[in-house]
């Protein structure tokens, strides 16, 4: 077995008890939240106490909590994610149908955010104190401070309502859906996510770059007559990427489980929207699956981060 | 020549900018969303239905009501009118027979020539199958109300279903308002998990599901050979888009991406009314906003003088003119003017803070050092809970808090999310609650006010006890003759208005933003929704 395979296997084994503890905590937390899957029926005066009791039994909510947890855990461990309490469909089906939208949004947003972060962070560090550095500082400060929902609505008002250039929300035009239509729908939510992410990341990269550029080995490579670009991109940047990689992977893991606010503002049919719906309905089975998916994503992306870190900095061992 | 690193980066950024400009140019050419037409009407909704099986949910009946028709429906004035039945059974037309054993028989005559969308005739066997399925332990519909009082259904012929009730059931005329389940599709199946039906129900209505993209939209298309004739429905496709964010929904309405927003929020009324292509239809609702006073949790509410003082301390007329922008009238009781059972011959409590103070004095609540009234060492202080994120309610709660403080009552407002709020009230863990009841189209008040219908047996969350009222309400439920029942309900309304078990605030008006070009839109005050007459909608 290669070093790589052993590393992945070990990390997976280490993750199992963690995921088990997470599942217990999450299960307790969502059941402790006031209201439950039956709360929605209480508003209907035609739903009588006998109906509530019947529905409670049908959903298995009349059993002790530990029994409910054990039943869920056993089934989950065997690949059965159960049925959604709200629409009766398999949870796995509900998640799989929403996953592509989230992956698409996350992939494009992360790419755009990195495309903004790298030049902004590097140039701000190289030109420390200059106009570009100050401009990036102001822009990233604004980006970090802007609430995503407000920023999203602002972009909608300008580009969808005011100028009429872009659709205000959704993933495609119903019944339409060519590539241009797809890109048009992606532009606004992607812009919001990319700018918000890049605002934070660029500050980290700048700081990390400044720290690295002040290291003695940079003086040494400069003294060897290497070009400025080689010094910055090959030597300084590789050493400075460590903190950024950690940050990007954590953000990516959280986004994969759903960019809740952005998806809600732009009616993006991804996991974030599904989470919002499930939370409002206290759809326990869907919530459990999404939260476990989120926890697994954090574990997986941490493994990816370790690899990426080792890739850009050979001093960091994979093991 | 070697470039400095920042030059390369600037070049990369410039390249990116060019790409963005190129895409933007393409976007600039984007044709604006089409105007509403008889080819396509786009409707914006705040949520997606869980299922289109009308017996499994009461949420968002608009979409299923375009597909599955009931034997009856309610019109814009909440009158029960026949749909798949040829007439509404009554005692007068011989459709309702009261039996000597205390039960009743209802004869449903079905409209001839009606077919399910797959061409199978709609018959009395479907009605019987529906009753059997709902009463079966193998299916979990949302409500079995009324169905559980049916002992059997006879089907003497394909177009006649005789429903035998074990006891008299006054709302029999809306028993099948949610339609019927197709026997030939669902017999012997697990209906809870019959996703082919639940997501694409077979109906007799003007539309069928053409596409359902989860999280995005449901597209309905006109069915061929609709029973009303080939001229109906006039609009070929209805597209229901799910847009949870209110601001986004309104933005879509402004730029024409949606043409109709059902249940428009009141705090957006002026913004929506300013859109030239839109008309805001106002429908008097069958719901009323009120403050529930939980006598069990906060015993001072058990004193009628305190309850009358509270209602007299609130300037409800001013609330409707300011917070509600004049959109809704003051309500004086649980039965709204749109209901046939409504009466205005009841006590009205006008704004009179002097009277409120006098009543509280009389009840022994005297002003303390801080102005808050005290009785037997206890302060007249309670918590008012209501729904978070509901601008109108939050403003209303603040106004109530302010005006009650003026007469020496200390109110603390607490906000909860809607789901949490349901659990709190069901368990009776609150002092007072600001909320509304969407009342059934049948004016059954028993579940809300009968002494024995406190949770979990009902929705008497005031925990109000009045034996005379309880007797009247149960008598009303067992009365089919409408004039007799109206008389009973009028007496019940008079008792409720006099005793003030809760503080009615305003009668809810339903707002729907509809295209100005839409003809024959009538609205509907009930949960049946606005699409009950969609077959005759016409875009001019």
Query: Do A33 and B420 make contact, defined as CB atoms within 8 angstroms?
Result: yes
pLDDT value for B59: 66
For residue range A50-84, list pLDDT tens digits in order. Answer: 888 888 898 899 999 999 999 999 999 998 999 99
pLDDT at A108 over 50: yes
Query: Do A273 and B145 make contact, defined as CB atoms within 8 angstroms?
Result: no
Left (φ > 0), alpha (ψ -120 to 50) or beta: where does B51 sit? beta
Query: Do B140 and A54 make contact, defined as CB atoms within 8 angstroms?
Result: yes
Query: Do B248 and A44 make contact, defined as CB atoms within 8 angstroms?
Result: no
Question: Minimal Cα–Cα distance from A217 to chain B, Å?
Answer: 19
pLDDT band at B21 (very low <50, low <70, confident <90, very high): very low
pLDDT value for B487: 97
Q: Which residues of chain A lie closer than 8 angstroms to B252, CB-CB?
A: 168-169
For residue range B400-446, list pLDDT tens digits in order. Answer: 999 999 999 999 999 998 888 888 888 889 999 999 988 888 898 99
Mean pLDDT of B360-368: 95
Residue of B nearest to A57 (CA): B140
Residue B62, φ and ψ in degrees, nearest 5: -55, -50
Q: Which residues of chain A lie closer than 8 angstroms to B142, CB-CB?
A: 41, 44, 46-47, 51, 55
Q: Which residues of chain A lie closer than 8 angstroms to B177, CB-CB?
A: none
Strand locations in B70-194, DSSP E? 72-74, 80-82, 96-98, 104-109, 150-157, 160-165
Say which residue, B534 or A249, is predicted with more confidence. Answer: B534
Burial of residue B1 (number of CB atoms within 10 Å: 0-12, 13-18, 19+): exposed
pLDDT value for A308: 76
Residue of A nearest to B20 (CA): A187
Instruction: Nearest by CB to A267, from B51, B242, B437: name it.
Output: B242
pLDDT value for A13: 85
Query: Do A88 and B6 make contact, defined as CB atoms within 8 angstroms?
Result: no
Q: Which residues of chain A lie closer than 8 angstroms to B213, CB-CB?
A: 174, 269
Say which residue, B27 or B282, is predicted with more confidence. Answer: B282
Of the given ranges (A21-30, A45-54, A224-233), which has the lowest mean pLDDT?
A224-233
* Cα distance between residue A136 and residue A210, in whole Å: 15
Q: Which of B60, B137, B244 to mutate to test the interface with A (most CBs of A within 10 A)?
A: B244
Written in H, E and C, the secondary structure of B260-320 is: EECCCCHHHHHHHHCCCCEEEEEEEEEEEEEEEECCCCCHHHHCHHHHHHHHHCCCHHHHH
Question: Minimal Cα–Cα distance from B210 to chain A, Å?
Answer: 11
Instruction: Nearest by CB to B248, from A89, A118, A266: name it.
Output: A266
∠ CA(B152), CA(B155), CA(B159), 5° rounding?
Answer: 135
CA atoms within 13 A on the CB side of A213: 21
Return the DSSP state at B238: E
Percentage of chain B beyond pLDDT 90 is 76
Percentage of chain B beyond pLDDT 70 is 93
Residue of B nearest to A87 (CA): B50
Instruction: Nearest by CB to B456, from A49, A156, A164: name it.
Output: A49
For residue range A112-130, list pLDDT tens digits in order. Answer: 999 999 999 888 888 888 8
For residue range A8-27, list pLDDT tens digits in order. Answer: 788 888 888 889 999 999 99
Instruction: Nearest by CB to A265, from B16, B59, B248: name it.
Output: B248
Q: Kindly give the residue spans of alpha helices, DSSP state H, lying in A127-236.
A: 131-145, 148-155, 179-213, 216-223, 228-229
Q: Which of A38, A48, A261 to mutate to test the interface with B (most CBs of B within 10 A)?
A: A48
Q: Which residues of chain B lie closer than 8 angstroms to A30, CB-CB?
A: none
For residue range B115-145, list pLDDT tens digits in order. Answer: 999 999 999 999 999 999 999 988 988 888 8
Q: Which residues of chain B lie closer than 8 angstroms to A40, CB-CB?
A: 59, 419, 422
Q: Which residues of chain B lie closer than 8 angstroms to A187, CB-CB?
A: 23, 27
The two structure tokens encoding residue A58: 């049908």
Query: Do A280 and B148 make contact, defined as CB atoms within 8 angstroms?
Result: no
Query: Do B16 and A55 make contact, defined as CB atoms within 8 angstroms?
Result: no
Task: For residue B43, give Cα distances in angstroms to A193, B38, B173, B243, B277.
Answer: 28, 14, 30, 10, 14
Instruction: Nearest by CB to A47, from B142, B193, B254: name it.
Output: B142
Mean pLDDT of A288-295: 93
The two structure tokens encoding residue B404: 């009650």
* Cα distance between residue B364 and residue A147, in whole Å: 51
The two structure tokens encoding residue B17: 């900018």
Return the DSSP state at B136: S
Indicate whether this model's pTM tops 0.80: yes
B241 lies within 8 A of chain A by CB: yes
Q: Which residues of chain A lie closer than 8 angstroms to B198, CB-CB?
A: 87-88
Residue with tokens 């494009």: A108
């Amino acid at each position: 077995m290669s070093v790589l395979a052993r590393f992945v296997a070990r990390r997976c084994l280490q993750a199992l008890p963690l995921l088990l503890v997470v599942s217990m905590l999450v299960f307790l937390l969502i059941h402790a939240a006031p209201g439950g899957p039956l709360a929605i029926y209480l508003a209907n005066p035609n739903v009588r106490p006998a109906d509530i009791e019947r529905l409670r039994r049908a959903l298995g909510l009349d059993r002790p909590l530990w029994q409910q947890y054990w039943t869920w855990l056993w089934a989950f461990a065997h690949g059965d994610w159960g049925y959604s309490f709200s629409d009766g469909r398999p949870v796995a089906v509900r998640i799989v149908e929403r996953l592509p939208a989230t992956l698409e949004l996350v992939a494009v947003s992360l790419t755009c955010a990195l495309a903004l972060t790298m030049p902004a962070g590097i140039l701000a560090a190289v030109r420390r104190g200059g106009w570009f550095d100050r401009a990036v500082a102001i822009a990233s400060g604004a980006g970090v401070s802007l609430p995503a929902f407000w920023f999203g609505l602002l972009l909608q008002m300008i580009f969808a309502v005011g100028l009429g250039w872009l659709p205000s929300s959704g993933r495609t035009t119903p019944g339409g859906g060519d590539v241009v239509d797809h890109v048009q729908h992606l532009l606004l939510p992607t812009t919001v996510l990319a700018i918000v992410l890049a605002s934070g990341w660029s500050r980290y990269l700048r700081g990390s770059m400044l720290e690295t550029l002040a290291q003695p080995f940079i003086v040494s490579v400069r003294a060897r007559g290497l070009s400025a670009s080689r010094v910055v991109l090959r030597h300084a940047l590789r050493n400075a990427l460590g903190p950024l990689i950690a940050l990007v992977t954590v953000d990516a893991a959280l986004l994969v489980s759903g960019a809740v606010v952005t998806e809600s503002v732009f009616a993006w049919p991804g996991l974030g929207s599904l989470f919002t719906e499930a939370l409002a309905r206290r759809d326990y089975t869907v919530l459990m699956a999404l939260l476990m998916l989120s926890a697994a994503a954090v574990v997986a992306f941490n493994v990816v981060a370790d690899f990426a870190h080792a890739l850009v900095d050979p001093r960091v061992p994979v093991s | 020549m070697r470039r400095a690193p920042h030059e390369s980066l600037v070049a990369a950024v410039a390249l990116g900018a060019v790409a963005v400009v190129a895409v933007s140019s393409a976007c600039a050419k984007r044709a604006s969303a089409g105007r509403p037409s008889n080819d396509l009407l786009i409707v914006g909704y705040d949520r997606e239905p869980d299922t289109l099986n009308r017996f499994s949910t009461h949420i968002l009946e608009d979409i299923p009501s375009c597909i599955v028709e009931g034997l009856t429906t309610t019109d814009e004035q909440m009158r029960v009118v026949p749909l798949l039945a040829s007439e509404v059974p009554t005692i007068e037309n011989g459709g309702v027979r009261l039996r000597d054993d205390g039960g009743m028989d209802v004869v449903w005559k079905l409209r001839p020539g009606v077919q399910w969308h797959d061409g199978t005739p709609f018959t009395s066997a479907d009605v019987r199958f529906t009753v059997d399925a709902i009463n079966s332990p193998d299916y979990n519909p949302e409500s079995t109300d009324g169905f559980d009082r049916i002992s059997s259904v006879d089907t003497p012929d394909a177009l006649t279903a005789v429903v035998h009730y074990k006891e008299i059931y006054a709302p029999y005329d809306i028993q099948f308002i949610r339609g019927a389940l197709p026997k030939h599709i669902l017999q012997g199946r697990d209906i809870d998990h019959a996703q082919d039906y639940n997501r694409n129900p077979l109906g007799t209505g003007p539309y069928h599901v053409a596409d359902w993209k989860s999280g995005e939209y449901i597209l309905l298309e006109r069915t061929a050979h609709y029973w009303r004739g080939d001229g109906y429905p006039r609009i070929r496709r209805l597209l229901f888009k799910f847009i949870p964010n209110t601001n986004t929904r309104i933005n879509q309405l402004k730029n024409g991406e949606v043409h109709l927003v059902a249940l428009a929020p009141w705090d957006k009324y002026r913004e929506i009314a300013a859109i030239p292509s839109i008309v805001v239809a106002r429908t008097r609702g069958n719901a009323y906003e009120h403050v529930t006073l939980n006598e069990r949790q906060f015993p001072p509410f058990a004193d009628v003088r305190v309850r009358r003082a509270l209602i007299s301390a609130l300037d409800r007329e001013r609330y409707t003119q300011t917070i509600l922008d004049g959109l809704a009238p003051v309500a004086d009781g649980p039965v709204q003017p749109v209901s046939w059972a409504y009466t205005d011959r009841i006590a009205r409590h006008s704004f009179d803070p002097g009277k409120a103070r006098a009543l509280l004095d009389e009840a022994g609540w005297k002003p303390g050092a801080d102005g808050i009234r005290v009785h037997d060492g206890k302060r007249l202080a309670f918590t008012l809970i209501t729904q978070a994120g509901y601008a109108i309610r939050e403003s209303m709660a603040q106004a109530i808090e302010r005006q009650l403080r003026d007469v020496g009552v200390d109110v603390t407002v607490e906000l909860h999310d809607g789901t949490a709020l349901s659990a709190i009230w069901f368990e009776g863990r609150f002092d007072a609650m600001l909320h509304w009841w969407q009342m059934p189209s049948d004016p059954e008040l028993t579940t809300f006010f009968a002494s024995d219908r406190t949770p979990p047996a009902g929705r008497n969350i005031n925990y109000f006890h009045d034996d005379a009222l309880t007797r009247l309400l149960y008598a009303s439920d067992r009365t089919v003759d409408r004039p007799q029942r109206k008389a009973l309900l009028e007496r019940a309304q008079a008792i409720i208005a006099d005793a003030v078990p809760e503080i009615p605030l305003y009668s809810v008006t339903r707002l729907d933003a509809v295209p100005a070009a839409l003809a024959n839109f009538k609205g509907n005050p009930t949960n049946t929704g606005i699409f009950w007459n969609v077959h005759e909608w016409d875009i001019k």
